[in-house]
Amino acid sequence: MTLGIIGGSGLYDLDDLGHAEWRPVTTPFGEPSDDLLFAEVDGTEIVFLPRHRRGHCLLPHEINYRANIAALKLAGCTEILSVAACGSFREELAPGAFVLVDQYVDRTRDRVRTFFGDGIAAHVSLADPSCKRLRGRVADAAASEGVDVQNGGTYLAMEGPAFSSRAESRLYRQAGLDVIGMTAMPEAALAREAELCYATLAMVTDWDSWRDAAAGAAVTDILAVMHENVAHARRIVMRLAGSWKASGEACEAGCDHALDHAIITPKELWPQMTADRLRSIAGRVL
């Protein structure tokens, strides 16, 4: 059970790692955002991938989400913690707060949302898209580091790259959503198709634009908050990795068997090329 970490805005590398080496990983779905960092923390292997590439070179819609998830799967990861910056719709989630997301609302538009298609149809369940067991482990790691984390919250995934209008922001707030970002979808859905346990640690950097007195999300303000957020996120990630132990038990949420009843197309109708490509993420059932 290897832990994979996807670093979001501001988190492009990890420090104080043993046997650390950046390695390229090629997938049938193209190139991931960057090379993968293979390293050890207290004897436990982890794999790190900077979502926006080192130096933050990729906009959210430019990211090859399929290649990122496939690369981590091919690297042996079974569980993925995604770290992502976000805006807040809640007074109680001020800039600097952390949320372990348990639900997502997908409002992205121009992204490939599935590994399947091209002759093989599949439909996974996203009723509970975030792994409860993994969230619990992250919450424990945060508590050990003295970082307050809200375990549970709904993340609105927007297309970007522009931030919300006030009308959009107020609509999402009235709908009862908690935070907003640009990268958790289709990442979470693809992780489910790849039968990976997945959770998002969302770092609140701003109030989005629903407040009358606020000017709305601005990069300069976000970066000021992000520096402190990232420092806390690094501590949580290092604590999680340092205490990581393979449970040897199946995921209670069924993340590791998400494809058991998902593929509809009869095997005799599978195009060989499509099946070969899918084996990188769905080899257990193919």
Beta bridge partners of 209: none
Tokens matching residue 37: 């960092």
* CATH number of the domain enclosing 106: 3.40.50.1580
Tokens matching residue 143: 């508590």
Burial class (CB in 10 A: 0-12, 13-18, 19+), 132: middle
The residue type of 142 is A
Q: Which residues are catalytic?
A: 206, 208
Number of structural domains the chain divides into: 1
Beta strands in the chain (DSSP E): 2-7, 18-23, 36-41, 44-50, 77-88, 98-101, 103-107, 150-151, 154-158, 179-181, 197-206
pLDDT tens string 231-272: 999 999 999 998 887 666 788 889 999 999 999 999 999 999
Q: Is 208 annotated as a binding residue?
A: yes
Structural domain for 173, as ranges: 2-279
Per mean pLDDT, which range of 15-19, 143-147, 256-260 is the poorest? 15-19
Residue 284 resides in a domain: no
Report d(CA 61, CA 126) in Å as an integer.
21
Residue 109 resides in a domain: yes
Residue 286 resides in a domain: no
Report d(CA 205, CA 12) in Å as an integer.
17
Residue 285 resides in a domain: no
By DSSP bridging, strand 77-88 and strand 179-181 are antiparallel
**3-state SS assignment for residue 107:** strand
Q: Is 22 annotated as a binding residue?
A: no
Residue 7 resides in a domain: yes
Specify the pLDDT at position 222: 74
Is the separation of the CB atoms in 85 and 208 below 8 Å?
no
Instruction: Between 1 and 190, name the one with better pLDDT.
Output: 190
Tokens matching residue 162: 């522009």
Residue 37 resides in a domain: yes
Question: Using 50, 70 and 90 to split pLDDT, how confident is the model at 43?
Answer: confident
Residue 225 resides in a domain: yes
Beta bridge partners of 87: 180, 206
Residue 156 resides in a domain: yes
Q: Is 9 annotated as a binding residue?
A: yes
Average pLDDT over residues 212-222: 66
Report d(CA 202, CA 237) in Å as an integer.
13
Task: Report CA-CA distances (Å) from 106 to 55, 155, 203, 235.
Answer: 27, 8, 18, 29
